[in-house]
Amino acid sequence: MAASGTKTIIVIGAGIAGVCCALALREDGHDVLMVDQNGPGEGCSSGNAGQFNVGSSLPISMPGMLFQVPRWLMDPTGPLAVRWHYLPKALPWLIRWIRAGLRDRVPGYAVTLRALHANCIDLYRQWLGTEGTADLLRFAGHLYVWESTERSALDLLSEALREANGIRSVVLDSAAIRDIEPALAPIFQRGLYFPDNGHTVNPQRLVQTLAEHYVAAGGVLQRRTVTGFDCGPEGVRAVLTDAERLPCDIAVLAAGAWSRGLAAKLGTNLPLETERGYHAMLPSPEIQLRVPVSNAERTFVLTPMELGMRLAGTVEIGGLTAPPDYARARILITQAARMVPGLNSHGAALWMGFRPSFPDSLPVIDRAKGVPNAYLAFGHGHTGISGAPMTGRLIADMISGRPPTIDTSPFRASRFHSHGN
Ligand SMILES: Cc1cc2nc3c(=O)[nH]c(=O)nc-3n(C[C@H](O)[C@H](O)[C@H](O)COP(=O)(O)OP(=O)(O)OC[C@H]3O[C@@H](n4cnc5c(N)ncnc54)[C@H](O)[C@@H]3O)c2cc1C
């Protein structure tokens, strides 16, 4: 048993969410054991676009998107695909997703995401120190580009929401776009530059480095597959694994897209779905980008990384077990070649990962209902790299009984059991 005031805490999952929780809890002096079926950062946290979305904190479901969905689905090169056999299972989630995009809901989600993401770069800096920051983080901003000259109603709403949330951006014409990123083909008419965004040059190494800091600070990391919980009237007594029973005072569930089944074993049923995403990693792109670039119409990102250029994006609704469809990643190569003349895609490595997504784009950061010593920290969807540091802080605040750093009420699990969410 831990010394007075400190607890024995098991964090389940060593993706970016779990590692940030484990670090923050260890900083509070708790005895922390982090368990993962794989090594740190080998899940969704390894293959993302690496963007710290300080300046683009909008939910994914937005007003009017419903009308774009049929067009996206009909276009085999479009940003959204559904595995049709999986549709009946995903349908309730999709209906909630559409409702989340209603005009009266979106401003609240934008405020909440902004609060969750705003300090992420500062928190990473604190954990990584000067050397780790210089090694892993870049502060070049983030460029969004459009081929069309016309601003849609969605563009106008997005701009208004960003402005309302104090997010800085610079409007660019085609000449200004090329000043910021000369490697782009002269096909883009409009751009927005977010000076406060940053990125990591290697998302997996970011997680691994944070996990090393956690271990150096006395945290313990074990490779185990969690199978369930031993619960009594007072809550979780132990976490059950493929190897042994691990007694604890507190359990924190941060198992990304796999959290739904484990949360159900704690008695909490949540509408967590996976939005499968893809990347193509170009090891010798020949062209260097100065800044990460998002193709706003095709909704994917080109990020300069230490192992080459990563093209990342697309959403595929197909569950956790269907095999990858790497044609989705190859589409990104074709589209990026149009954007960046001379891009060399030889030797591209293709990847698929499971975004853990709630319909309203917000994670659940909460205590499990009816199990007072179990906490939930998952569902970061498209922006887990940006939302994980504050998530770790909030979980540590909750466990230590401190007032939370930001308002945690929008992250409650109970939001899905009321208001038609
Ligand atoms: C293509 C793509 C691009 C993206 N780009 C960005 C971006 O630019 N910026 C951004 O902020 N976010 C981005 N994201 C989202 C981000 O990657 C995710 O939100 C984030 O990685 C989720 O982290 P996680 O720790 O919750 O999940 P994961 O990283 O998946 O970690 C969950 C961990 O739990 C473990 N686990 C699961 N079940 C068990 C079990 N039973 N026992 C033990 N361990 C278990 C898994 O092995 C895994 O390591 C992107 C995602 C994709 C797919």
Mutate to test the pocket of ligand 1, among 10, 19, 20, 48 (most ligand atoms within 8 A of CB): 48
Segment 287-308 shows an average pLDDT of 96
pLDDT value, residue 116: 97
**Tokens 């740190």, located at residue:** 40
Segment 47-67 shows an average pLDDT of 88
In this predicted structure, the answer to whether residue 2 has a pLDDT above a threshold of 60 is no
In this predicted structure, the answer to whether residue 276 has a pLDDT above a threshold of 80 is yes
User: Which atom of ligand 1 sits closest to the CA of residue 226?
Assistant: 42
Residue nearest to atom 22 of ligand 1 (CA): 384
Mutate to test the pocket of ligand 1, among 11, 12, 36, 311 (most ligand atoms within 8 A of CB): 36
Asked whether 324 and 307 are in contact (CB, 8 A), the reply is no
CA distance 376 to 369: 10
Residue nearest to atom 25 of ligand 1 (CA): 15
Determine the distance separating the centroid of ligand 1 and the alpha carbon of 147, expressed in angstroms.
Answer: 31
Asked whether 404 and 391 are in contact (CB, 8 A), the reply is no
Residue nearest to atom 20 of ligand 1 (CA): 384
CA distance 359 to 367: 20
332: tokens are 């990104």
- Locate the DSSP E strands across 250-325: 250-253, 273-282, 293-295, 300-305, 308-317
Can you spell out the DSSP letters for 219-238?
Answer: -EEEE--EEEEEEETTEEEE
pLDDT value, residue 75: 84
User: By percentage, how much of the chain surpasses pLDDT 70?
Assistant: 98
Average pLDDT, the chain: 95
pLDDT value, residue 65: 81
Determine the distance separating the centroid of ligand 1 and the alpha carbon of 43, expressed in angstroms.
Answer: 5
pLDDT value, residue 174: 97
pLDDT value, residue 89: 94
pLDDT tens per residue across span 330-370 = 999 999 999 999 999 999 999 999 999 999 999 999 999 99
pLDDT value, residue 79: 83
In this predicted structure, the answer to whether residue 243 has a pLDDT above a threshold of 90 is yes
What crossing angle do the helices spanning 384-400 and 120-136 adopt, rounded to 10°? 120
Asked whether 369 and 418 are in contact (CB, 8 A), the reply is no
Asked whether 263 and 317 are in contact (CB, 8 A), the reply is no
In this predicted structure, the answer to whether residue 421 has a pLDDT above a threshold of 80 is no
User: Which atom of ligand 1 sits closest to the CA of residue 227?
Assistant: 41
Mutate to test the pocket of ligand 1, among 208, 332, 380 (most ligand atoms within 8 A of CB): 380
pLDDT-derived band at 4, boundaries 50, 70, 90: low
Determine the distance separating the centroid of ligand 1 and the alpha carbon of 355, expressed in angstroms.
Answer: 6
CA distance 336 to 329: 11
**Residue at 231: amino acid letter:** C
User: Which atom of ligand 1 sits closest to the CA of residue 17?
Assistant: 25
Determine the distance separating the centroid of ligand 1 and the alpha carbon of 218, expressed in angstroms.
Answer: 24
pLDDT value, residue 16: 98
CA distance 36 to 226: 8
User: Long-range CB contacts (< 8 A, 24+ apart) of 91-95?
Assistant: 92/271, 93/271, 93/273, 93/359, 94/317, 94/359
User: By percentage, how much of the chain surpasses pLDDT 90?
Assistant: 91
What crossing angle do the helices spanning 203-216 and 120-136 adopt, rounded to 10°? 100
Neighbouring-strand partners of residue 349: 281
Determine the distance separating the centroid of ligand 1 and the alpha carbon of 383, expressed in angstroms.
Answer: 10
pLDDT value, residue 215: 98
pLDDT-derived band at 127, boundaries 50, 70, 90: very high
Residue nearest to atom 9 of ligand 1 (CA): 51
Predicted model pTM: 0.97
**Ligand 1, CB cutoff 6 Å, lining residues:** 12-18, 35-38, 42-45, 48-51, 53, 225-226, 254-258, 277-279, 312-313, 353, 355-356, 378, 380-386
